[in-house]
Copies of this chain bind each other. A is one copy, B any other.
Amino acid sequence: MSHNTFGKILCVTTFGESHGPAIGCVIDGCPPGIAITAEDFRHDLDRRATGKSRHTSQRHEEDAVEILSGVFEGKTTGTALALLIRNTDARSKDYGNIAETFRPAHADYTYWHKYGIRDHRGGGRSSARETTMRVAAGVIAKKWLHEHFGISVRGYLAQIGPHTPAAFDWSVVEDNAFFWPDAAMVATLESYMDALRKSGDSIGARVNVVANNVPPGWGEPIYGKLDAELAAALMSINAVKGVEIGAGFESVAQHGSQHRDEMTPQGFLSNHAGGILGGISSGQDVCVSIALKPTSSLRLPGRGVNLAGEATEVITTGRHDPCVGIRATPIAEAMVALVLMDQALRHRAQCGDVGVMSPLISASVAGAKPE
Count identical subunits in the complex: 4
List A47-83 residues whose CB lies under 8 Å from chain B.
Answer: 66, 68-70, 72, 75, 77-82
A242 touches B249 (CB 8 A): yes
Which residues of B have CB within 8 Å of A13?
2, 5, 13, 26, 28, 80
Which segment of A168-176, A177-185, A186-194, A212-220 sits at the interface?
A212-220
Q: Which residues 109-153 in A have Cβ within 8 Å of B in the complex?
A: 109-117, 119, 124-126, 130
Q: Which chain B residues border A219 with CB–CB below 8 Å?
A: 110, 114
On whether the beta carbons of B345 and A350 are closer than 8 Å, the reply is yes
User: Which residues of B are found within 8 Å of A223, using beta-carbon distances?
Assistant: 3-6, 232, 236
A330-371 to B contact mask, C-beta < 8 Å, 1/0: 000000000000000111111111000101110000000000
CB proximity of A148 to chain B, nearest CB, Å: 10
The distance in angstroms between the C-alpha atoms of A70 and B22, with both chains bound, is 11
- In contact, A113 and B360 (Cβ under 8 angstroms): yes
Chain B residue nearest to A277 in the complex (CB): B110
Residues of B within 8 A of A114 (CB): 78, 216-219, 280, 347, 351
A351 touches B161 (CB 8 A): no
Task: Count chain A residues whose beta carbon lies closer than 8 angstroms to a beta carbon of B.
Answer: 159
Chain B residues with CB under 8 Å of A352's CB are 31, 348, 353
A265 x B311 contact (CB < 8 A)? yes
Judge if A211 is at the interface, Cβ distance under 8 Å: no
Q: 7 closest A-B pairs (Cβ-Cβ)? A: A107-B278, A3-B224, A2-B28, A202-B256, A349-B349, A2-B11, A3-B220
Q: A20 to chain B: which residues have CB within 8 Å? A: 68-69
| Chain B residues within an 8 Å CB radius of A329 | none
Nearest-CB distance from A88 to chain B (Å)? Answer: 14
Instruction: Give A118 Cβ to nearest chain B Cβ, in Å.
Output: 8
